[in-house]
Amino acid sequence: MKIIISPAKQMRVDTDSFTCKELPVFIDRTEVLMKWIQSLSYEEQKKLWGCNDKIARQNAERFAHMDLKNNLTPALLAYDGIQYTYMAPAVFEDGQYDYVQEHLRILSGFYGVVKPMDGVVPYRLEMQAKASPHGYKNLYDFWGDSLYREVIGDPKGIVAHRSRTIINLASKEYSKCIEKYLQPDDRYITCVFGELEGDKVVQKGVYAKMARGEMVRYMAGIHAGTPEQMKSFNWSGYHYDEDRSSDSEYVFIRTKVPGKGR
């Protein structure tokens, strides 16, 4: 069973807390993207990132001096967004780190697929950015089915039939990298965290990000081995709604103001 999540736009450097285990599996392709971005003018970079001048200059400086193999931060500590704050990896116990290293995969426009303890550097490159490196139409085209194959455990694409489970806690921008290539034997479950507005389940961005992070922490805490164990999740006022769920979509409804506790 693999769990997929999105990266965060904000990143930080922490080279002291933990030692990185290895480089991301697609580091050679990351280097291709790095050199392509370095070849762009500042105005082209800013347009690619779709950000204000302050953020653009920060990232232009990052890419100008980027070293993909030194002064690295473990990915789980490098990404600095709401989802990661509520995941709270800094206070994981040893067994939880082992769990996420085995089961959790971070999807990235720059790195492709990242394990929690892979060493990364700060960057900015969203999967849906209007990038056309070396004749590719966009980053979805650049990465093709390689992200799916890496997550599913068939990196060389030589296994014809493989039954694997993927828990989708990623945004649509990133999950579509996997969904496009799913095979009939794959079990793919998307988690929906929402509130009832009449008869409709409405996801609210910030609360959904909080819940995604807490779900990872919950699964790591119980060392979940099957999707069914997720149904007991009840943090921040969420509960599993069996009537609104299906085999491919687990729906969790929030009934009170979220916090970090159970």
In a domain, 63, yes or no: yes
User: What residues form DSSP beta bridges with 108?
Assistant: 112
Residue 259 lies in a domain: no
The per-residue pLDDT for 72 is 96
- Give me the domain span that covers residue 142: 2-254
Q: Half-sphere exposure of 239 toward its Cβ, with a 13 Å CA cutoff? A: 7
Task: Provide CB contacts within 8 A for 107, sequence distance 6+.
Answer: 4, 5, 6, 7, 113, 114, 127, 147, 170, 174, 175, 177, 178
- Look up residue 125 and give its amino acid: L
Give me the pLDDT at residue 205, please.
Answer: 82
Q: Which residues of 238-247 are buried (b: 16+ CB within 10 A; e: fewer)?
A: bebbeebbee
Number of domains in the chain: 1
Strands 2-5, 165-168: pairing is: parallel
**Percent over 70 (pLDDT), the chain:** 94
For 85-112, b/e burial (b = at least 16 CB within 10 A) is: bbbebeebeeebbebbbebbbbbbbbbb
Confidence grade of residue 258 (pLDDT, cut at 50, 70, 90): very low
168 located within any domain: yes
Which of 125, 108, 123, 117 minimizes the C-alpha distance to 26? 108
Task: Please check whether residue 79 lies inside any domain of the structure.
Answer: yes
Q: What integer is the mean pLDDT of 22-43?
A: 97
Give me the percent of the chain exceeding a pLDDT of 90: 82
Q: Is the pLDDT of residue 33 over 60?
A: yes
pLDDT at residue 141 above 80?
Answer: yes
- B/e letters for 15-45, b = 16+ CB within 10 Å, e = fewer, are eeebebeebbbbbebbeebbebbeebeeeeb
Which pLDDT tens digit goes with each residue over 36-88? 999 999 999 999 999 999 999 999 999 999 999 999 999 999 999 999 999 99
Q: How confident is the prediction for the chain on average, in pLDDT?
A: 92
CA dist 33 and 54 (Å) reads 22
The rounded radius of gyration (Å) of the Cα atoms in the chain is 18
pTM over 0.85: yes
Say yes or no to pLDDT of 255 above 90: no
Query: 250 pairs with which residues across the strands?
Result: 191
pLDDT in tens, 145-188: 999 999 998 665 555 445 589 999 999 999 999 999 999 999 99
Largest pairwise CA distance in the chain: 53
**In-domain check, residue 262:** no
Closest by Cα among 251, 143, 136 to 199: 251
Say which residue, 202 or 220, is predicted with more confidence.
220
